[in-house]
Amino acid sequence: MSLIKKISSNFNIYFATVLGIGFIPFAPGTLATLFTAVIWYLIPDYIFYNKTEQLIYYNEYLYLLLILIVLYIIGIFSTTKAEKLMREDDPKIVFDELVGYLFAVLFLPKTLMITIYAFILFRAFDIGKPFPINKSQKLKAGLGIMTDDVLAGIFSNALLQLLIIIYPNFFK
């Protein structure tokens, strides 16, 4: 194996396992989601949300959405390559959890309670895989790996958006 091919293979594995979190022997998907939630929460609030005025900065979230679309596309290719190096639908591949969780918090107030509820709902949708999430997992290689988690994030987000409309004080 050439040096460039070896470096490329290692990069895909580190990327797909979120810097090795996927190699933790218990609940790698949950731990990758927790890692992402903590990183998300540590990003300064004022970038996405004004807590004083309870104002969401939609333009900044649009930039994040564009980044997530790029990460989704990169993730399809990277997880496909990692899957070939590891095994099909290897639980060590957790980059999809990172991207999926970030879809779960898009366009929402950036608060601790939203961060926690997004984590819980995302994991519930990702593990439970209701329709159509269960169907999307059957897509080929990285497309299936990434799409089911993005849908789990979108479902989580939609439910949180609905809860905010129905009962805005729920997350305070």
Quick one: pLDDT at residue 3? Answer: 53
Per-residue tokens: 128: 């439970």
Quick one: pLDDT at residue 148? Answer: 94
Kindly state the helix (H) or strand (E) to which residue 152 belongs, with its residue range.
helix 141-166
| CA distance readout (Å), 95 to 41, 53, 62, 69, 102 | 18, 34, 21, 13, 11
Q: What is the pTM of this model?
A: 0.90
Quick one: pLDDT at residue 70? Answer: 96
**How many angstroms separate the CA atoms of 87 and 135, rounded?**
20
In contact, 140 and 162? CB cutoff 8 Å: no
**How many angstroms separate the CA atoms of 78 and 97, rounded?**
14
- SS3 state at 12: helix
**How many angstroms separate the CA atoms of 79 and 84, rounded?**
9
Which portions of the chain are predicted below pLDDT 50?
none
Quick one: pLDDT at residue 99? Answer: 97
Quick one: pLDDT at residue 139? Answer: 83
pLDDT digits (tens, 9 = 90+) for 28-74: 999 999 999 999 999 988 888 887 777 888 888 999 999 999 999 99
Quick one: pLDDT at residue 75? Answer: 93
Quick one: pLDDT at residue 115? Answer: 95
